[in-house]
A and B are shown apart, each in its own frame.
Chain A
Amino acid sequence: MKIAYNFAFFDEGSKREIRRATLKAIAIPGYQVPFASREMPIARGWGTGGLQLTLSLIGKNDVLKVIDQGADESVNAVNIKKLVTGTTGVKTVEVTAEATLIQSRHRIPEIPLKEHQILVLQVPLPEPLRYYEPSEFVTKRLHAEKEYSGAWLMLFEQIMKYGNMSSGADHPVMVHDRYVMAPSPIPRFDNPKMNYSNALILLGAGREKKVYAVPPYTKVVSLAFDDYPFEAERFDGMSCRLCGAAGVFLDELIHEETGETYHQCNDTSFCLSRLNSVSAKYQEVPLNE
């Protein structure tokens, strides 16, 4: 394949800079390592942090999967895939188990990741303390002193106002008992998947110019109180309308004409592989039986 750009878009100097930041991020789990964050051909805030990590990691033999909020085929995922394959020629897949590199926006896949895989998450706001402290100068010092009372207070205020911790996504986590970290806007449902994950998880924030990491087998605890324990979203009694899966993260949809509410798997490749395995089972049975 003839590529008009450098392999993986970047010049080698840019890759090296991201690579050095990534190695430091792995060595200090949960700590946000600043990096230069190059200009990309997609707008900042549209996954440039994740994209830069992916481009610094990717090689000719990698198999790439890109997910946008659980879907392989939505605009953000398709554009990122196009850019990466256009500058590298690597194979892209939808089946999670076949990928070596998975870039994702706002979800961790349903099926458990494997040791040889690397998950790259796109992060819009890497600073978990930003909501109550606008100054980067100050938040860096709060992290330095492990002064996280603000993060706890934020959750406490939610309980006082709403009766529970109302963080819909991006519920802060404590990594390796040291850093409070924004897990990127994954639903609370996915937070436990970060704890002692088999795969390396890298998080990149392009606009905010930060890279951070959760190495495999690292303790990641969602912040919670003894009397208000952390709770993931629950889908009791609900299942996917298409594949029937229960116990997975479901999207709630409303039928435009009938107004009926139904649910569907958020992870489209998981749903599709279940549907395919069901249809394969039917095909095994001869039609005349």
Chain B
Amino acid sequence: MQLNIVHDTQIAYRKLVDSMSRPGTISHFGEQANLIGMEAGCYGTTVLLAMVLLDTEVTFKICSEREEELAKLFNRLTYAREAEAAAADFIFVLNDTKPDQLEQALHAAKTGDLVNPHVSATLIVEAETLTNDTDLVLTGPGIKEANGLRIVTDGCWLELRNEKNSEYPTGIDMIFVDRDNQAVCLPRTTQIRKRVND
């Protein structure tokens, strides 16, 4: 079976809506990601999200050791063009990249301005694993009381993200994906605290 561009992307989009409107909710994209049926060199969910979100109207940037190859693939799949990190609408930070590249991407990502806060970047970051352990405590819109989240990844992102989002409503939205085709969203409104052990 192949990925159905109409129905499978719709299912993936609804999961994304669910995760974006309820930060900390881990969605499973395995069923759709496995239908892509190609060895892209990144997680299946990353390619799936690119297919859900990208087209000729937006730009993207890939941070990876194999940037050129993957940029060609994403362009072929979606017709979206690659752009510099500071101008890109979507920034993909892949698992094979150096840890400091995530920091660089966060530094460079556009945050929009107060008049047009929606003209900001969405970062899609490949992490090792995502679980709902209470390593990080999330609060804010979409969260009833507090949600727990644990993201295993090499790069340092938390403080930089907080800095980038300090002047709400400008800021960046992040989507973390893991090896098991799970994804979690952290829109700019989500407040994240590290849990301090007693």
Contacts and interface: CB of A to CB of B under 8 A. Distances in A.
A178 B7 contact: no
Given A144-B114, A217-B141, A28 B189 contact: yes
Contacts of A200: 17, 21
Contacts of B187: 26-28
Interface in A54-102: 56-60
Contacts of B173: 23-24, 27
Contact of A57 (B17, B120, B188): B17
B143 interface: yes
Interface in A185-239: 200, 213, 215-219
B6 A16 contact: no
Interface in B131-145: 141-144
A33 to B, nearest CB: 5
B22 interface: yes
Which of B16, B17, B54, B141 has the most CB atoms of chain A within a 10 A radius of its CB?
Answer: B141
B196 interface: no
A89 B22 CA distance: 29
B16 A23 contact: yes
A34 B13 CA distance: 19
B20 to A, nearest CB: 5
A144 B115 contact: yes
Contacts of A144: 113-115
Interface string A1-39: 000001110001101110111111111110101100000
A126 to B, nearest CB: 14
Contacts of A7: 6-7
Contacts of B6: 6-7, 12
A215 B52 contact: no
Interface in B16-31: 16-17, 20-22
A145 interface: yes
B-side interface mostly: loop
Contacts of B7: 7, 59-60
B53 A19 contact: yes
Nearest to B11: A59
A140 B169 CA distance: 13
A26 B122 CA distance: 13
Interface in B90-149: 113-118, 120, 122, 141-144
B31 to A, nearest CB: 13
A216 B16 contact: no
Contact of A20 (B58, B115, B143, B168): B58
A141 interface: yes
A44 interface: no
Given A12-B9, A28-B188, A217-B143, A57 B21 contact: no
A195 to B, nearest CB: 12
11 contacts: A7-B7, A12-B9, A22-B17, A24-B173, A27-B188, A28-B169, A59-B7, A144-B115, A216-B141, A217-B142, A217-B143
Given A16-B53, A23-B20, 20 more contacts: A12-B5, A16-B55, A17-B57, A20-B53, A23-B16, A23-B53, A23-B173, A24-B173, A25-B118, A28-B117, A28-B169, A31-B118, A34-B118, A57-B14, A58-B10, A141-B115, A144-B115, A176-B141, A216-B142, A217-B144
Interface of B: 5-7, 9-11, 13-14, 16-17, 20-22, 52-58, 113-118, 120, 122, 141-144, 168-169, 173, 187-189
Instruction: Enumerate the 10 nearest inter-chain pairs by beta-carbon distance, A residue then B residue, closest first.
Output: A27-B187, A144-B114, A218-B141, A215-B142, A24-B118, A144-B115, A215-B21, A200-B21, A59-B10, A215-B141
